[in-house]
Structure 1
């Protein structure tokens, strides 16, 4: 324990309280400090300009909520909670996102990385500062923390604190993302939820008198996905970023990358030979620097997409369904006739989410359901008690979009090509242009 509590001022939780030396030491490692340079919401700041917060601030927030849960369990349920589990829970909460790369999910898609697997490598690889600090607790402590993150830790209470349908991770990112995007969709009563959260031998449940606070959380999460995380313009910028990285990778693999513009830190990823040391050198700023260099690159596609990304020129989009996706090949042909390479200047993007999913053991990834504890100690699954949650339970929400150059919506140039494209959009029921 620290001789005196260390605090971090935070806009969401007011103060983040650190009482263990090991937590402070982990925060000060280079691997954890790197998260300051990776934005929590990737390219969403191109739509919500306040969304500049980092994986670092989010990770501290998840730690703080987990600390509050542990305090509540220790004070109110000492017969159901073993407080010797506190440190492994706090370390897992703090470190759960340490493996994220630059522009997290887009980078993963292009280079086939897995941030969860990399998180476990950072924890368990003896070359990292984080591993060294965790081993000072106990030789097997890095593996214990990693097992919480990959859901194999034997205590389900600890696992569900960090990863479940209502966990410290989700609660922090909803509140933090709502605050930084300037929206109210993600707000819910965190204090009340923590008050009614309680441990039982097989995991974590919620008192029946707090069910409405849990309902509010579910609805808030649903609204955040629809209004923020699935925003079509933000997804359009993700398409630009994905095609930018894909073009750079293609040029390099074809031996056509001008040596004067070589992205030295990305080459191991182009070649598939990257190491953990290579990975930990990357952050959002590294990629942005390369994109700035490529503004002068002779390849017109790489140059244009670098400018599109840095200058915020997303592709436009329209929704499509299974009934209208047969129009997409013709739309791609028209984009090509207008002078654009459809491999890069068109894209299909779908974003879907389950607001709440009752436990189904037969599914590929069964979810831990939210349990409501009745006065007699029995447990009822949330959607069986809440008509509101039942109405959205198991219902996939989101849309599919076709992305294309904004130029295709203007009436100049080859009028027949442009007008035919617009005709397809309007008469083919590809609507909701963004």
Structure 2
């Protein structure tokens, strides 16, 4: 008897892969150094500095997403009376497993610092899947020469020449990624109030084939979508509510945002010093025979050699922060001391959205920092933190690529409609039309009492 490969997971229980050719591929992919690197990258950046249990990694999340993706594929096929295709299921599971392979340390923080045009984790993921220098790409090609290119459409929307329903399992508004992290993040952060029936939601999935239009070639690939049984619309509503409240209570928590900005400021200060002075660069990013991997990413962005990128994890960055506590530059030294001593900046809600008033508030804050913290550069201590999020993106009619596929509900007669067209009560209406905007100013504790009170919320 050949027992399956089992990963014990706190969210899903046993995550298993049969000891066949595919299971062996999964095991070898997981063991590759560039995938093991995800053990050193937390799922939620510095959220563990606020929620002590949030120590879980993108490694665990990736395994969980692969497990959920396989379940979603099986349920949709079974409910639709369609035999499961082993190749399609393999593509879907592998894409979910590898969807975060290119992530940098601290969630999206490095993308904020370097700019998404210079560095974006999805670009690195695509490179890890396809580059000749990538051990994962080599492993995939040994299994199936065309496999890397077959996985790209799951990651890059623009690579989708046909609408395959299973693409939505990996990337959509109701995908394996979200179904895993909503449960995992809530559990690890100790949040018990924002839950939904994930099993029922997965068990209510169907495949819907869009009827062909007159004049279309008969050999054209069918336009297929993932859909949810309309009897489970209450679970969809609970899912969207959970997602909304997780952003409100966890991801955008005021202390988490302030801690993230403090780390952001320290990394930007080190980068700015290194760019302006080669002597400083050698001190701040010592080579030790090879380029420092963080400096390699700063310099090369999306073109960074993968052999250097695979050395970059959060432990390496924290090691640099510890080193910078002894830096010559007083601003960098102070920012790093604050991080290690947990003397975070403070995120304060702002009562206005008027541009002139916000600019005035920022200028006042910088002047207060300059007076209270002489010798330090106030640019790195003040930020207007403006965050907007659309809870659900409805279908934009008439656009081939709306930027977000809608969540489709399907009736017993096979008729589908986007979720936003569902006859619903006020709760669902509010949820679908909600776009919340948070406006805060982030400043040191030393100056918070000296800001104009009329521009701050009580």
**TM-score, shorter chain, exceeding 0.5:** yes
Pairing of 1:143-292 with structure 2 (within 5 A): 143-151=149-157, 152-153=159-160, 154-201=162-209, 202-255=224-277, 257=280, 259-264=282-287, 265=292, 266-272=294-300, 274-292=304-322
- Decide which moves more: 332-341 or 378-387: 332-341
Provide the residue aligned with 2:456 in structure 1. Answer: 430
* Per-residue deviation, residues 214-261 of structure 1 (Å, max 9, x unmatched): 110010000001110111111101111111011101111111517444
Per the alignment, residue 10 of structure 2 pairs with 11
Q: Secondary structure at the match of 1:102?
A: coil
DSSP-derived class of the 1:157 partner: coil
Contact 1:372 1:382 in 2 (8 A): yes
2:328 maps to 1:322: no
Structure 1: runs of 5+ lacking an equivalent: 411-420
Distance 2:398 2:52 in 1: 42
Partner of 2:408: 371
- What is the RMSD computed on CA atoms of the aligned residues? 2.0
> CA deviation digits over 1:120-174, x for unaligned, max 9?
0001012222111211232111011122111234343121001111111001000
The alignment partner of 2:439 has SS state of strand
SS of equivalent residue, structure 1 residue 352: strand
Does the 8 A contact of 2:40 with 2:313 survive in 1?
yes
Alignment of 1:99-110 (within 5 A): 99-110=102-113
Which of 382, 390, 394 aligns to 1:358? It is: 394
1:272-351 alignment to 2 at 5 Å? Answer: 272=300, 274-320=304-350, 321-323=352-354, 324-328=357-361, 329-338=363-372, 339=374, 340-351=376-387
SS of residue matched to 2:119: coil
Q: 1:319 touches 1:400 (CA, 8 Å); kept in 2?
A: yes
Cα drift, residue 361 of structure 1: 4.5
For structure 2, list consecutive stretches of 5 or more residues without a partner in the other structure: 210-223
Q: Which stretch shifts more, 373-382 or 113-122?
A: 373-382
The normalised TM-score by structure 1 is 0.91
Distance 2:367 2:397 in 1: 45
**CA distance in 1 between partners of 2:30 and 2:99 (Å):** 13
Could you say which residue in structure 2 is the equivalent of 1:406?
445
- How many Å separate the matches in 2 of 1:269 and 1:184? 38
Given that 1:315 and 1:405 are in contact with CA atoms closer than 8 Å, whether structure 2 keeps it comes out as yes
- What is the aligned partner in structure 2 of residue 120 from structure 1? 126
Counterpart contact for 2:201–2:236, Cα < 8 Å: yes
* Equivalent position SS for 2:455: coil
Q: CA, structure 1 residues 261+341, in 2 after alignment: closer, same or farther (shift >3 Å)?
A: closer
CA distance in 2, matches of 1:267, 1:86: 39
Single out whichever of 190-199 and 333-342 deviates more from structure 2. 333-342
Match of 1:408, SS?
helix
The question of whether the paired residues in 1 share the 8 Å contact of 2:275 and 2:281 is answered with: no
Shift of 1:195: 1.0
